[in-house]
């Protein structure tokens, strides 16, 4: 693909410690491989996968979704949000993988995974970390339809 | 008053690095600009007003990659970013 707005950049991976791993990826990724390389031995794991819809918010066929971020600040913000949510819920580990660049319908945008000792806190932490990411991490989406790009002004409903 | 500098004039101690993202880039027609830091106590809101990009109300402000209030005084050498509402995930 040769979209005029596509500027490939290397995978940025930070926070690779015992508890939190954050990746910003300019290319498509496999959830299976991401989880395989991260999963530990916790009793409970919760995973959320978000994919690109085939339609725009107005219901038109989507050509592509462009994702922009604020390098540096974005990664640190994700680390901080993950730290806060792990601590709040008493969960043990978190993985966040988020795409940037140009995505096609059906491609993964985001993966959030949390490990904990109990399913309740794993599920709640995963859900809250995703919501925190959506509202507090500097990512922006632009829908492309009929070669016209439109920046989204808000998140989709929960 | 603020002035835009040519690249060869950029001296870190006397400029602000201003970043725009997403729709703000389209509106302004630029992504990054160095602006002369001309007044002690200059705030992000004052810089924003001089960019003439509309109301600041839904825009977040980050200074040196930390979210701050728009009335926080700036310092020479700061990285000042104006961020439209986040839509990731």
What is the CATH T-level fold of the domain B7-83, as seen in this structure? Ubiquitin-like (UB roll) (3.10.20)
- Kindly identify which residue of chain A lies nearest to residue B26, measuring between CA atoms: A151
Both tokens of A29, joined, read 């990724």
Structure tokens, B83: 């961020």
Q: Do residues A81 and A20 lie in contact, with contact meaning Cβ atoms separated by under 8 Å? A: no
Question: Each residue of B31-69: b (16+ CB within 10 Å) or e?
Answer: eebbbbbeeeebbbeebbeebeeeeeeebbbbbebeebe
Which pLDDT score, from 0 to 100, does residue B1 have?
47
pLDDT digits (tens, 9 = 90+) for A127-139: 999 999 999 999 9
Domain that holds residue A66: 14-146
- Separation of alpha carbons A76 and B66, rounded Å: 10
Q: Does B88 touch chain A (CB under 8 A)?
A: yes
In angstroms, the CA A87 to CA B45 distance is: 34
Task: Please tell me the predicted confidence (pLDDT) of residue B41.
Answer: 85
Query: What's the domain count of chain A?
Result: 1
Average pLDDT over residues B11-39: 89
Rg (CA), chain B: 12
Phi/psi at B45 (5° precision): -65, -35
Min mean pLDDT across A10-14, A153-157, B22-26, B78-82 is at A10-14
Q: Given an 8 Å threshold on Cβ–Cβ distance, is B83 in contact with A152?
A: no
Q: Model pTM?
A: 0.86
Work out the average pLDDT over B20-35: 96
The verdict on a CB contact (< 8 Å) between A141 and B81 is no
- CATH code of the domain containing A125: 3.90.1170.40
Instruction: Flag whether A151 is in a domain.
Output: no
pLDDT at B13: 55
Q: What is the mean pLDDT of residues B52-78?
A: 94
Residue A61 maps to a domain: yes
| pLDDT beneath 50, residues of chain A | 1-2
């Amino acid at each position: 693909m040769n979209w005029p707005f596509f500027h490939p950049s290397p995978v940025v991976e930070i926070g690779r410690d015992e508890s939190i791993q954050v990746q910003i990826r300019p290319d498509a990724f496999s959830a299976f491989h991401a989880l395989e390389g991260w999963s530990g031995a916790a009793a409970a794991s919760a995973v959320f996968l978000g994919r690109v819809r085939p339609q725009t918010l107005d219901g038109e066929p989507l050509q592509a979704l462009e994702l922009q971020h604020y390098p540096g600040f974005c990664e640190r913000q994700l680390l901080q949000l993950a730290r806060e949510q792990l601590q709040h819920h008493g969960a043990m580990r978190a993985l966040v993988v988020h795409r940037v660049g140009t995505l096609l319908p059906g491609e993964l945008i985001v993966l959030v995974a949390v490990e904990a000792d109990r399913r309740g806190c794993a599920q709640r932490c995963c859900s809250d970390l995703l919501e925190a990411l959506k509202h507090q991490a500097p990512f922006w989406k632009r829908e492309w339809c009929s070669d016209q790009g439109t920046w989204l002004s808000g998140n989709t409903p929960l | 008053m603020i002035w835009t500098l040519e690249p060869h004039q950029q001296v870190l101690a006397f400029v602000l690095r201003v970043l725009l993202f997403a729709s703000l880039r389209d509106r302004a027609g630029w992504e990054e600009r160095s602006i002369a830091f001309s007044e002690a106590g200059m705030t992000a809101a004052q810089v924003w007003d001089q960019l003439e990009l509309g109301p600041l109300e839904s825009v977040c402000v980050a200074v040196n990659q930390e979210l701050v209030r728009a009335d926080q005084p700036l310092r020479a050498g700061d990285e000042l970013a104006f961020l439209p509402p986040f839509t990731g995930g």
